[in-house]
Structure 1
Amino acid sequence: MSSQPHTVLPWVVSRTSLPLLSMRCIACRSESATIGDGKFRVNANGKLLDVWLLAHCTSCDRTAKLTVHERTPVKSLSPTALDGYRTNDPALAASTLLDPLIAHRNRFTLDWKGVWNLNAPPTPLDHAWPIHIEVVFEDPIPVRPDRLIAYGLALSRNEALQRIKCEIPLRRPSNTGFNFTVMPAE
């Protein structure tokens, strides 16, 4: 264990709104859509349900249906989920949109540009001792750690890369928490 004093700072990456969907509209060939109000469409066929999350093209406002459940027995869904689909629960719409299996099934990706925020206390870069920072993600927001660190420290990416020590690859997007240490300036 090190005898040097150090400071531990928490950083939290959170989303400010729902991301846009990157998917091609069949009407106007635009590449972005939104879920708008987060409305579900539920269709019953006997004891089987189809559930869709409705998405709207940002260019032509055409509605597309994102498959959530297809020909699913009613008894296999929880009463909470059924009620959420019926009442268009915004939290359920958000968790459905962020589910990677739903994205894969419906062939869309999420555009996180401008819809996340870094909540970080001021970092004293002129401190004589190393500063340890713990990064936590509230949602699976894919951000490159080198860009996040440079943004949070208000440094260029090159300077940030020279001053930090981290055990994860910094140039690959990460959406899980990680730790790094900011070393004093030389």
Structure 2
Amino acid sequence: MLPWVVRRTRLPLLSLRCVDCRSESATAGRGRFRVNANGKLLDVWLLVRCTSCGRTNKLTVHERAPVRSFDPADLHRYRANDPDLVASTLLDPLLARRNRFTLDWEGAWRLDTAPAWADQAGPVQVEVLFEDPVPVRPRRLIARGLGLSRTEILRRTECDIPLHRPTRTGFTFTVSAGN
């Protein structure tokens, strides 16, 4: 079984309308949090910037949460703008739903394939793994990895999931040798 891995190359853009210029695209950039104390309550926001006009917006991560409800290590990571915490926060579907944005993964991922699949005789089984929840149509992903047309993919592959629906989780497929 040949392994393929879908990897994030950068943080995805956000489809989020800017209140100033009405642009639909924002970025988390280098990733910054803002932590604000109000008595014994904390607010935590992830700062994002409009790609057109540069306006900074805040995405609510925690609102009016008691200070004691935070693990001290997590609170330190928010204050230090930990890149892993920025990524996991941005990729959290609950944050996207609460702040009304979607992620635009165009150009933010790559496919690492095993070399020389065509050298093997007979059918080849491939396992696709996702390091991040990148929504990709399996047919498009397989076409990119094998260098075949999407019609040819339908003819030569057998897959354990529907090829036309986007997926964010791993799957396996078998490709038969060409005629």
SS, match of residue 82 in structure 1: helix
Shift of 1:142: 0.4
- Separation in structure 2 between the aligned mates of residue 126 and residue 89 of structure 1, nearest angstrom: 44
Q: How do 1:1-186 residues align onto structure 2 when only pairs under 5 Å count?
A: 8-125=1-118, 127-186=120-179
Task: Give yes or no for contact 1:11–1:134 (8 Å, CA) kept in 2.
Answer: yes
1:65-85 deviations in whole A, cap 9, x for unaligned?
000001111111212210011
Task: Give yes or no for contact 1:12–1:137 (8 Å, CA) kept in 2.
Answer: yes
Shift of 1:37: 1.8
Q: What residue identity is the alignment partner of 1:34?
A: T
Structure 1 residues not aligned, in runs of 5+: 1-7
Shift of 1:126: 6.0
- When normalised by structure 2's length, the TM-score is 0.97
- When normalised by structure 1's length, the TM-score is 0.93
- Separation in structure 2 between the aligned mates of residue 134 and residue 123 of structure 1, nearest angstrom: 15
- Separation in structure 2 between the aligned mates of residue 22 and residue 78 of structure 1, nearest angstrom: 31
Q: What residue in structure 2 maps to residue 4 of structure 1?
A: none
Task: Give yes or no for contact 1:126–1:185 (8 Å, CA) kept in 2.
Answer: no
1:125-167 deviations in whole A, cap 9, x for unaligned?
3643110000000000001100000000000000011111012
Structure 2 residues not aligned, in runs of 5+: none
Stretches (4+) displaced over 2 A: 122-128
Q: What residue identity is the alignment partner of 1:104?
A: R
Note the aligned Cα RMSD (angstroms).
Answer: 1.1
Task: Give yes or no for contact 1:27–1:62 (8 Å, CA) kept in 2.
Answer: yes
